[in-house]
A and B are shown apart, each in its own frame.
Chain A
Amino acid sequence: MIDWLLAGARWGEGDLVWTTDPLLVGGAALVALVAWAVALLGGWRAVRSPPLRLLESALWAVALGALVVGIAGPEIVEEDGREELGKLVVLVDGSGSMGVSDGASVRSTAAMEVLETLRGAQDPMDVYTFDETVRAGAPERFEGRGTDLGAALDVIADRHLGQELRGVVVLSDGLDRGPLRREVAAAAEQGTLSASAVPVLPGPVTFIQTGEAEALFDVSVEHVTSGGFAFLRTAVALQAEVRGPPGRAVPVTLSRDGRTVREETVTLDADGRADVEFTVIPRQVGRFAWEVSVPVEVGDAVPGNNVYPVVVRVVRERTRVLQVSGSPSYDQKFLRLFLKEDPSVDLVSFFILRTREDFRSGWQQNEMSLIEFPYQRLFTEDLSTFDLVILQNFNYRPYFSYGRDDLLLNIADYVRAGGALVMTGGDRSFDLGEYARTPISEVLPVELGVTGVKTDESPFRPKLTASGAVHPLTRLGATADETESIWQRLPAMDGTNLSLGLTPGSAALLEHPGLVTDSGPLPILAVREVAEGRTMALAVDASWRWSFSEAAEGRGNQAYLRFWKNALRWLVADPDYRRVVVFPSRENVLLGDEMRLTVRVRDAGYGPVEGAEVVGSIESPDGVRTPIALTTDAAGEGIFAYRPEMRGAHRVSVGTGNRAADRGSTVFAVSNRDPELADIQPDTTFLRQLAALYGERGRFVAPGAELDLLVDESARRSVPDRRVVSLAGAPFLALLFGGLGGLAWVIRRRNGGV
């Protein structure tokens, strides 16, 4: 009966706990108090007998109190415990190196076979997966990017603190990437190895090695060091580390864009290592992908580590300019001052200070501080070291004594290969410099071959053309109107070289206001893109007046500086100064890692373009294209997130139109060269050392050996037994509330209450 009244709770045993929120209980008590007061006040005067009044109120108080107690959620908690056989804990290495094949068997398969054997023979048993973290359960995939065995052992020790385990089993190839392996190796080398190096475990431990070093065959490009960036035309070393079977001769190939650049065969040393260094000289600015690879042979454990892609960003340290002037002049002076003061320019000047005609002046050679004009070296071996060559009123004929045609051809080829050339006006320039029908004339933006009078010496003010109004080179103001007004106020020129007009594909940015050619107004400033290079023709020799005359008006020399800065920037066609630029968040990305591509769009004046619709694609090594579509923000930028799924060089091409100027491109390298696949030889020594550190409570089981686990059959674990009985619904509370409440009601009714 009592058992029924207490809903099964044993009287005097267990702890009474209240499970309802105290605030809720307080609220219920308040409501009960108010109900008690209302009930009594409502029927107080109707009950005649004072003792009955007191009895009724007491009954109501007890009934409502029972209700509040029920709401408070009383529970009786009885705790007890019992002992059972200790557990066996199995730690399975789930890292990527476990996916390696050692000859005929894969390490992960061997580990799962051992696990299945244990499942059939050991109970109770808990299984955990460890790599860079620890998780309950067996591994579903062996793709972990790290192995931290020390941390895994710590977790097991913490989780079973105060308990006894029948045993701990570690299934691993011993390739720990955490600190434990390094510390054990260092301590062993110093002779200071002790049991304090490993966590104390609540049971004996057996290390079962998976994978056999002797059966492994793998040749890999371990790492390639590039520094990530290189300077234009400066040798950069790509150092690769190759690993494989000791003594083996391995051909190592350096390639770019799928084409072999260099190949070298190295012999691996006794440790199975060899270093190879490739030296390359970047000839273009931008991002370029190189790949170092070794052949994939039959049985290679990890074919994926035979190629190592790396992207190097080639930057221009400084713009290297060659200024050759046929005569010291104000035009040459002001241009040199500008170039010399620009810290981003590395200037090499050569001025012809004396001509053959001057030799008759009677001065001795040793009185003069003159050197020979090294034209042959400049226009052969040194030529490709310059970003820009300025021929300023320079006539080649008196100086190019030997190999004249070849030297001119060199300059033209230099332009086609990506160099930049400027020719400015004067009495030794254009047709007066006898450049007509030379290779130079084939790359200039103006047509040479003027016969008769070759200059016009009437002062004139150059006129901005429609192309000049939008071209970045002639943009001197913040707006088109300001640019126009600046050009209108700049001083007149003293005359001009004549030409036959523009060559095909060229654009005139400034033209003569009066003189015309057969193809239109006489071009004064013209530009042209020739294959990979760019050229500019400025048919006057008084651009210095744009500096000095502006200064006379108190306006400084900004117009002149901006003009030549714009010219430099446009001529060298730096990729970062293109109108559409795309660059990756990282040049070298791990497979599966998310990376971002930032696209920047600028207008002709290099101002940000908001709302530009950019389309393009990312081409993976297998030729599959992932489309890109984005709209630029107020800063003229848009970001495209991408998660590469294939190893190798990925090429990105984006644009706002089809013209070359409206398009940008870049490249990034994707590697699956996570540390897990860098070193895949099973580390037997480490596993043996660990087992030894645990002394009698540690054992090492070699691959293929009998599965002889170290277990402690006396290990016991305490299993808690907990019994909870809720009193909220116990009959005695219901009886108190219902019975006493009903009795109070009857008393009121019988004594005239309502």
Chain B
Amino acid sequence: MPHEAWSRRAVLGAMAASSLVGPDAWALGAASQVDIAELAIPGASIHRAAAWQRLLFELIQTTSVEANPETVQIAPEDPNLFAHPFTVLIGRDALPPMSDDGVEQLRRYVSYGGFLFFDDASGSRDGPFAQSVRALCRQLFPTRPMTPLPGDHSLYRAFFLLERPVGRVAVSEVLEGVTRGPVTPIVYCPNDLSGALHRGEDGRDRFPVVPNGELQRREAVKLGVNLVMYSLTSNYKHDQAHVLELMRDGKLE
């Protein structure tokens, strides 16, 4: 099972970043802070804890969100899944069939407020991982297929104004997701977001970003921040007050 570890340099960087927000910037308990759980599916899921830790530090440094820069791995059937409302599943190849208990728990998780992010590390559109994710979504919500998110979706403006949701690659110009009512609790990214965020033990970026290099990596960070922010605020940026104000400022048409 691929697993890239959390580096010492990253820890030191994280401490520096957290100090910027002052001593009061902690929720009542660490358990209430925003964190990211990686869904562990033996033989299929890829784990890039350093990518998510980098994202959480960026979140702390850039936004008012109180985050706990620790990443846990958790099985779909594990009841502790409900202690982590933001979960990611990175994959490159097709996912094996999930147990009925796992499917049932994921359905409850998403239905009652959990956010599930699928990150495709294959760098290809509609590869085996994408197909198995679509199949899993059909299992979870048979009447709600995964569809491209429209250009005015709140996710693209949850914090940063995004033009393209890029990652390590930029094979697709859109994200896809399952939308239930006013929110989209399942999002699929074909552009390997975690690949752009991931760092090795030496603190250096683990993978090159193509085709636009570091500029694209910067955009990937913005996408990561927006994902977490969207999972917390859902369609907040579609509230009338925001839309009108953003239009007035020329940030929206």
Contact = CB atoms under 8 A, between A and B. Distances in A.
Contacts, number: 170
Given A352-B64, A548-B82, A496 B28 contact: yes
B113 A547 contact: yes
A494 B242 CA distance: 32
Interface string A415-433: 0000000000111100010
Question: How big is chain A's contact interface, by range?
Answer: 35 or more
B62 A361 contact: yes
Interface in B146-186: 157-161, 181-183
A333 interface: yes
A427 B109 CA distance: 27
Contacts of B29: 457, 459, 493-495, 542
B28 A368 contact: no
A457 B28 contact: yes
A358 B21 contact: yes
Contact of A371 (B112, B160, B242): B242
Given A369-B160, A548-B85, A426 B113 contact: no
A327 B222 contact: no
Interface stretch (B1-9, B193-201, B206-214, B229-237): B229-237
Contacts of A428: 24
Contact of B64 (A331, A358, A547): A358
A432 B24 contact: yes
Nearest to A334: B113
Given A340-B182, A369-B251, A552-B81, A351 B236 contact: yes
A551 interface: yes
B98 interface: no
B225 to A, nearest CB: 9
B159 A551 contact: no
Given A361-B62, A455-B28, A548-B112, A370 B159 contact: yes
B198 to A, nearest CB: 20
A259 interface: no
Nearest to B114: A548
Contacts of A549: 82-83
Nearest to B79: A552
Interface string B75-118: 00001011101000000000000000000010011011110000
Contact of A427 (B24, B108, B231, B235): B24
B246 interface: yes
5 contacts: A331-B32, A425-B28, A494-B27, A541-B27, A556-B112
Given A337-B113, A363-B62, A557-B112, A357 B222 contact: no
A333 B160 contact: no
B31 A542 contact: yes
A504 interface: no
Contacts of A363: 62, 160
Interface of A: 326-334, 336-337, 340-341, 348-355, 357-358, 360-361, 363, 366-372, 374, 393, 425-428, 432, 455, 457, 459, 493-497, 540-542, 544, 547-549, 551-554, 556-557
Contacts of B235: 340
B26 interface: yes
A354 B20 CA distance: 13
Contacts of A340: 182, 234-235
A601 B141 CA distance: 44
List 3 tightest A-B contacts by C-beta distance, closest first: A494-B29, A495-B28, A552-B82
Contacts of B231: 333
B34 interface: yes
A368 B222 CA distance: 9
Given A328-B63, A329-B66, A367-B160, A497 B28 contact: yes
